[in-house]
Amino acid sequence: MLKKVLFLLAAACVVMSSCVDEERSPVITQDNLLFGAFPFLNELKTGEFDLADLTGSAYEMDIYFVDNAGGADIAQYNVYVAFDDNNPVPSDLSTERTLFKSFGPSDFAPLGDKGNLGMTLRIPFTEVAAFVGASNVGDVISGDRFQFSTEVIKEDGRVFASTNSTPAVTNAFGGLFDFNVNATCPLPDDVFAGDYNVQYGYVYDVFPLFGADVQPFGPALDATVTLGLVAGSTTRRSFNFGAYLLPGYGFGTSDVVLDFACDVVTSSAVDSGAGCGGGSIAAVQVNSASFDLADDSTWTIEYEGFGPNDGGCGVPELKPWSVVFTKQ
């Protein structure tokens, strides 16, 4: 059956003639990126709001602009925010996306090893909480999230954001348009870190692939991954599955980031780097995954794939499946 799956995938690449593999070559190159622009994360200094010290907390990062002029053609850098109130008691304080801050050339200075123009973006908790109307004691608690999105406007008026940029900007070239900042509980460096065994908890049944029904070859995932620290955050851990997370497949993957926020763990998308001309196939988390802050021995995350994350291959969405992490 594995041979059948691989044959069908290969045939799809031939028929569509636009399948890409990020490990062979990025979707785009630096040459054609130079006609656009994006912010590049040079250093994440603090990536969370500390529930133990909210008044003293701030998100802070250094970014510089990548374009055809080392950032000199950037006219404006806009930062938007939406507040996601995951604890709507006694009332829901969630807000829609609103322009929070704008920066211009007078705010930019050379950053990074290439000397591109950029800036230090510092967002104090007290400032953004007041902006979204959540500055009272108890308004922001564990699980609440500030969702930031940014855009770059060039001197010629063109606007670049995550909504009109190819996935290769973030996957292959490290661009950072959107980011979330959680109100969370800081973790020591030696917990939720190190080697973990990963196995499927449950796996979906037969699924259609390019006109044929394919049966995954069982819960075969049984690997060791190493969860490493992420600079600027005490709650985030990074690792790589090594083989793609879709049961029955063996694509390479990009690094995955887990964020342990007091009692809920979230996973970034597991990006295969392969597709059919419409981005890349990815597995994304579904449902809420809980964990025990005092016990880093095990937790479970549910994912689903294809559907809107099928890389343009036209494959129906798969039923969710689960992955169990167990400390070794």
Each domain of the chain, given as residue ranges in start order, spans 2-21+188-327, 30-165
| Residue 206, pLDDT above cutoff 70 | no
What's the mean pLDDT in 24-40? 57
| Residue 171, pLDDT above cutoff 60 | no
What region does 189 belong to: left with phi over 0, alpha with psi -120 to 50, or beta?
alpha
Phi, psi of 163 (to 5 degrees): -75, -20
Summarize pLDDT for 278-289 with one digit per residue, the tens: 677 788 899 889
Q: Please give the pLDDT value at position 245.
A: 60
Copy the structure tokens of residue 228.
């490493």
CATH 2.40.128 holds for 2-21+188-327: yes
The pairing of strands 222-229 and 49-50 is unpaired
What's the mean pLDDT in 38-54? 90
Please tell me the distance from the alpha carbon of residue 322 to that of residue 201, in angstroms, as a whole number: 5
- The DSSP line for 90-159 is S-------EEEEEE-GGG-EEETTTTEEEEEEEEEHHHHHHHHT--STTSS-TT-EEEEEEEEEETTS-E
| Residue 124, pLDDT above cutoff 90 | yes
Please tell me the distance from the alpha carbon of residue 122 to that of residue 46, in angstroms, as a whole number: 9
Q: Which of 262, 193, 267, 187 is nearest to 229 (CA)?
A: 193
Please tell me the distance from the alpha carbon of residue 64 to that of residue 107, in angstroms, as a whole number: 12
| Residue 300, pLDDT above cutoff 90 | yes
Q: What is the mean pLDDT of the chain?
A: 80
Summarize pLDDT for 230-287 with one digit per residue, the tens: 988 889 999 988 765 666 565 667 789 999 988 889 898 888 777 787 677 788 899 8
CATH topology identical between 2-21+188-327 and 30-165: no
Buried b (16+ CB within 10 A) or exposed e, 101-111: beeeeeebeeb
Q: Please give the pLDDT value at position 212.
A: 57
3 state SS of 60: strand
Partners of 119 in beta bridges: 63
Q: Please give the pLDDT value at position 209.
A: 56
Summarize pLDDT for 61-120 with one digit per residue, the tens: 999 999 889 999 999 999 999 999 877 667 789 999 999 999 999 999 999 888 999 999
Q: Please give the pLDDT value at position 267.
A: 92
Q: Please give the pLDDT value at position 186.
A: 86
Partners of 152 in beta bridges: 77, 160
| Residue 190, pLDDT above cutoff 80 | yes
3 state SS of 167: coil
Q: Please give the pLDDT value at position 142.
A: 78
For residue 151, what are the contacts with CB-CB under 8 A and spacing of at least 6? 77, 78, 80, 159, 160, 161, 177
Copy the structure tokens of residue 184.
């969370």
Summarize pLDDT for 131-164 with one digit per residue, the tens: 999 988 888 887 788 999 999 999 999 999 988 8
Q: Please give the pLDDT value at position 130.
A: 96
Please tell me the distance from the alpha carbon of residue 52 to that of residue 297, in angstroms, as a whole number: 24
Q: Please give the pLDDT value at position 271.
A: 81
* Cα end-to-end span (Å), the chain: 32
Q: Please give the pLDDT value at position 138.
A: 83
Please tell me the CATH code under which domain 30-165 is placed.
2.60.40
Buried b (16+ CB within 10 A) or exposed e, 202-223: ebbeebebeeeebebeebebee
What's the mean pLDDT in 215-242? 80
Copy the structure tokens of residue 305.
């794939």
- Quickly state the pLDDT bin for 304 (edges 50, 70, 90): confident
- Quickly state the pLDDT bin for 203 (edges 50, 70, 90): confident
Copy the structure tokens of residue 93.
């304080």
Please tell me the distance from the alpha carbon of residue 236 to that of residue 59, in angstroms, as a whole number: 14
Share of the chain above pLDDT 70, in %: 77
Please tell me the distance from the alpha carbon of residue 147 to that of residue 233, in angstroms, as a whole number: 16
Please tell me the distance from the alpha carbon of residue 274 to that of residue 98, in angstroms, as a whole number: 34
| Residue 228, pLDDT above cutoff 50 | yes
What's the mean pLDDT in 201-223? 62
Q: What DSSP state is assigned to residue 319?
A: P
Q: Which of 284, 327, 326, 275 is nearest to 303 (CA)?
A: 284
Cα 314 versus chain centre, distance = 23
| Residue 13, pLDDT above cutoff 50 | no
Q: Please give the pLDDT value at position 117.
A: 97
Q: Please give the pLDDT value at position 154.
A: 94
- Quickly state the pLDDT bin for 205 (edges 50, 70, 90): low
